[in-house]
Structures are given as C-alpha cells and as structure tokens.
Chains A and B, each alone.
Chain A
Amino acid sequence: MARIIVVTSGKGGVGKTTSSASFSTGLAMRGHKTVVIDFDVGLRNLDLIMGCERRVVYDLINVINKEASLNQALIKDKHCDNLFILPASQTRDKDALSEDGVEAVLADLIAMGFEFIICDSPAGIEHGALMALTFADEALIVTNPEVSSVRDSDRILGIIQAKSRRAQSGGEPVKEHLLITRYSPKRVENGEMLSYTDVQEILRIPLMGIIPESEQVLHASNQGNPAIHFKGTDVAEAYEDVVARFLGEQRPLRFTDYEKPGLLKRLFGAK
C-alpha cells in the first residue's frame, strides 16, 4: 500500500524542504521506491536542495495540464536509483494546482508502484499548502522550538483535521508526527529554548524525531546534496533515525542532551 506523507509546518523557513529531501532520500536508501513532490508553485526550491535544478524540464503543473507525461516530468535522483523528484512549476499561477489534477497525479504515481509519496508543502495556509495536505495519509509536522513556529504548527494541524480528504470523508484521521528541527540542547539547558517535551506537551502529537541545529545543513544545501548523505554528522544520523522510526523501528532519541565541554575543549576551543 502506498503511503502519502505531507511535510508541512505553516511557518516558513523551519526546514520543510530540507526535511523532505533527507526523509525521502532516507526512505529510498533503504530500498523503498519513493517520489518527492514540490508543491511550492512559483517558489520551487526542492530541485536546488536535491541538486537537480539543471535537469528540470517539465513540472507538476505540466503533468496536471497534460502537457507532459509523468515519466517525462519525474527526475531520477543522482544518488538513489529508486528516488524521483517531481518539481513545482516556477512560472505558473498557483491556482493551476487543481484538486482533481493533484488527485489524478497521485493516483498515477501509486499505479507506477511508488511506496512513498512525499509532498513538500509550501509555507502558509493558502492553496498550495492545502493541496499538499489534502490527500495525505500521514503528516510530518516540522516545528522549530520557538513560539511562532509552534503556534503555526498547531494551526496547520487544525487545518489537516478539518480539510484533508480523510477528515472530510470521516475516515481514519491523518496520522500526525512531530519533527522538531534546529534543536539546540545547549540553549534548552540554559532555559533559552523550549525543550522537546515542552513542544510535544503543547502540540500533543507523537514525536518522530529531533534534528539538531547544525552548520552541516547549509553545507548540504550549498552543494545540492540532502543532509542525510553526510555520513557521521549529527544531522545525517538524526534523519536516519527519523526514517527508521517511520518504518517502525524503535530508536532512542539522540542529540537532546547537552554535554558541557571539558576543560581541554574549552581551552583549545573545539568547534
């Protein structure tokens, strides 16, 4: 059974596209046929984060308008054989993203044998964000431990619970997962940042993972390689944990405790 997962947040800049890229890559690296769709019509960026921006010829709207076939529009990932990217249109008006059109594209992707369909939502609660979440079976709510992001996440949860196809048809509700990004254990320890338990207590949805704040994310996007490819880094391992948990494995939370630097470290200023 294919699973459609929306990666959303309400607020912009919290790490939706970064997370979509690493999450879909992680699923594909574990052998699952995966497609990641950019729903941010007019402001597409998933192609840049995935490093395939120069290979974009056709996009989601071309497919919806039947100007190109899905096979023509899907871009094969440069690292993973079973990962495909469906870019958003950069020029069209976002109203071109019709509900029927999106539904048809998703049905075709399922028929092509994709196991996981990741919908990278635009920020906000406008049309594009609604289209990204409408057909979702599950939702990955990307949240920073910061007041505006937490509030917007709660807002988008309300929208999922009211406007998704599952909610409208009265079926099983969309399964919600919390993904906390840009987490700084040191600042939490100092009482400057909401802890993950605080965020979870407020949003009341199950925690899928915590991605630590890291310089590596910028290095990754600079090069157009999803952060999960940088083996051995905290961010890559945190995303690997998220993928493993999503696939049903038990993994303890990591990167949540602050270790005070030792005397030597402080003297010689380790990074």
Chain B
Amino acid sequence: MALLSFLFQSKPKTATAAKERLQIIIARERNGRTGPDFLPALHKELIEVISKYTKVNADDIKISLDRQGNLEVLDVNVVLPDA
C-alpha cells in the first residue's frame, strides 16, 4: 500500500505557491508605491515626541496605513515599557 501511494502520489504544484506569494508581496509593494510618502517622516517624528515623555524603544512603535474600502486607517501602535 505504501508502495502504491508512493508511485501515484501527485507532485507538489509549486506554481500555485509562487502565484499566491507574488500576489501578496506585489499588492503590498503597490500600496507602498501609491500611498503617501510622509509615513517615514511621521514615524521618525512620532518616535522623537514619544521618547521625550517615556522611554520607548524605536522598535516598539509600529505605524501602518491600511485601506478598508474607501477608508484609509492610520494605525499607530506603541508598546510602552513596564513602569
């Protein structure tokens, strides 16, 4: 039985994986291209302002712009250190 399934197993269709991966990465890169270019500057200034008042790591501030239908959602996520 094991021999049979070895003989007749279908080869993995890697092209499907390639297509899915490409669709995701290209959609993301296109968004970055068409989106506003103030994000990096905003990110930098936010880090400066927040670190003036609290001690945060630059890596703990995440900022992203997502599209939901007609809305653009600016998502700023700050992880404050334990007091």
A187-234 at interface with B (beta carbon < 8 Å): 188, 190-195, 198, 201-202
Secondary structure class of chain A's binding surface, majority of residues? helix
Sampled A-B contacts (5; CB under 8 Å): A151-B26, A191-B15, A192-B13, A194-B22, A201-B19
B1-37 at interface with A (beta carbon < 8 Å): 11-16, 18-19, 21-23, 25-26, 29-30, 33
Residues of B within 8 A of A (CB): 11-16, 18-19, 21-23, 25-26, 29-30, 33
Is B29's CB under 8 angstroms from A191's CB? Answer: no
| A129 interface residue per 8 A CB criterion | no
Question: Residues of B contacting A201 with CB < 8 Å?
Answer: 19
B45 to chain A, nearest CB (A): 25
Secondary structure class of chain B's binding surface, majority of residues? helix
Q: For chains A and B in complex, what number of residue pairs have CB atoms within 8 angstroms?
A: 44
CB-CB nearest 7 A-B residue pairs: A191-B13, A198-B19, A158-B33, A191-B15, A154-B26, A147-B18, A202-B22
Is B30's CB under 8 angstroms from A191's CB? Answer: no
A129-172 at interface with B (beta carbon < 8 Å): 146-147, 150-151, 154-155, 158, 162
Is A147's CB under 8 angstroms from B33's CB? Answer: no
A51 to chain B, nearest CB (A): 36
